[in-house]
Amino acid sequence: MSILVTGGAGFIGSNFVLDWLGLSDEPVINLDALTYAGNLENLASLKGDPRHVFVQGDIVDFDRVLGLLEAHEVRAVLNFAAESHVDRSIHGPGEFIQTNVVGAFNLLEAVRAYWVKLGTTERQKFRFLHVSTDEVYGSLDPAAAPFNETSRYEPNSPYSASKAASDHLVRAYHQTYGIPVLTTNCSNNYGPYQFPEKLIPLVIHNALSGKPLPIYGDGRQIRDWLYVTDHCSAIRRVLDAGRLGETYNVGGWNEKPNLEVVHGVCAILDELRPRKDAKSYAEQISFVKDRPGHDRRYAIDAGKLERELGWKPQESFETGIHKTVRWYLDHQQWVKNVTSGAYRDWIARQYIA
């Protein structure tokens, strides 16, 4: 028996694979297309480990997925694979539809073809866990209660709309075909191995490179931050004990305006790696044009996950952000490797053009 993880060379997927194999000997089949966001260096510590089978391939490829399910007697599929960056979805939504919608559909179809042929016990034990986002719920007013599992879907970006579409497909495959599915909708993650196009690693990277720290609009947009290993533990908990067909919101009860997050990162850098001129990195903050359709506020009510499955995050924002800044300082070669080549084209397109 084994689990199939898709997108396991990306930020959250690679953290999940590393944590999983740190806690269990159950093999992981890791299917990842290795787009710009996928990086085998994240998994270097697993080199030669027979419990980790890496396969470069696309979730859109039905035959490939079905072949893997059959060959490795997979008992659970965890779908992390996605195009995940809102700004990229604004420049080029096509790939988001292809991977996040068509890819999810093909995965579900391959799972359906595999699952119907399983024996009764295996069929009952099988799980398809879909990793999704709080962004499907749209934007919250300042005084509104955090999103819960009954909040209306109101996606505002091509990214969130594509994730919303995949969530609906997952639900439909449970209602229509009886596939044993689970969906998690998580808030913003941060931590090791996050590609420096997302706010926190971008700010650390730019700060150390002496570049401006770009704040979209007024910087008062609110996100609810969760340290990535807490997301991974929530996914394991839902996989083990989640009720079939249910969705679980995952969050860290850490709502923060972007400006506060950026000032926090600067303060930690000031302490750990002071600028040569002894000024604060906060001097590099630069307000830039806002993102079109920018959601003002996300906040997650993770009460259902806590009540039903006893899950709670282990990290506060303060402990998690310290660990994160420290990790980036200690892994400058990783940053250098992922920011060479195509990364520069993205930065030029998004921030300079």
Binding site for ligand TYD (CB under 6 A): 86, 188, 198-199, 202, 214-216, 221, 223, 258, 291
255 binds ligand NAD (CB under 6 A): no
135 is catalytic: yes
- Taking contact as CB under 6 A, which single stretch among the options 169-177, 184-192, 282-290, 326-334 is the one that binds ligand NAD? 184-192
Give every CB contact of residue 341 below 8 A, 6+ residues apart in sequence: none
Look at residue 135 and give its three-state secondary structure. helix
Which of 32, 83, 135, 230 is the catalytic position? 135
| String of contacts with ligand NAD for each residue 12-51, x by CB under 6 A | xx-----------------xxxxx-xx-------------
- Round to whole Å and give the CA distance between 49 and 40: 14
314: phi then psi, degrees, rounded to nearest 5: -90, -30
- Taking contact as CB under 6 A, which single stretch among the options 68-76, 78-86, 252-260, 276-284 is the one that binds ligand NAD? 78-86
Buried b (16+ CB within 10 A) or exposed e, 244-257: ebbbbbbbbbbbbe
The per-residue DSSP string of 149-168 comes to TTSPP---SHHHHHHHHHHH
Please list the helix, strand and coil fractions of the chain in percent, rounded to the nearest 5, in that order: 50, 15, 35
**Which of 215, 228 has the CB closer to ligand NAD?**
228
From candidates 17, 28, 59, 325, binder to ligand NAD by CB under 6 A: 59
Q: For the chain, where are the alpha helices, taking DSSP H only?
A: 11-23, 62-71, 86-91, 94-96, 104-115, 120-125, 158-177, 199-208, 228-241, 258-272, 303-309, 317-330, 332-338, 342-347
Instruction: Decide: 255 and 182 in contact? Cβ < 8 Å.
Output: no
Least Å distance between CB 211 and ligand NAD?
22
Least Å distance between CB 30 and ligand NAD?
9
Neighbours of 86 (CB within 10 A): 21
19 is catalytic: no
| String of contacts with ligand NAD for each residue 290-329, x by CB under 6 A | ----------------------------------------
298 is catalytic: no
Q: Which amino acid is at 43?
A: L
**Which of 82, 181 has the CB closer to ligand TYD?**
82
82 binds ligand NAD (CB under 6 A): yes
200 binds ligand NAD (CB under 6 A): no
**Which of 9, 213 has the CB closer to ligand NAD?**
9
Angle between helices 158-177 and 104-115 (to 10 degrees): 20
| String of contacts with ligand NAD for each residue 103-142, x by CB under 6 A | x---------------------------x-x---------
Which of 32, 58, 83, 134 is the catalytic position? 134
Give every CB contact of residue 353 below 8 A, 6+ residues apart in sequence: none
Q: Where in the sequence numbering do the catalytic residues fall?
A: 134-135, 159
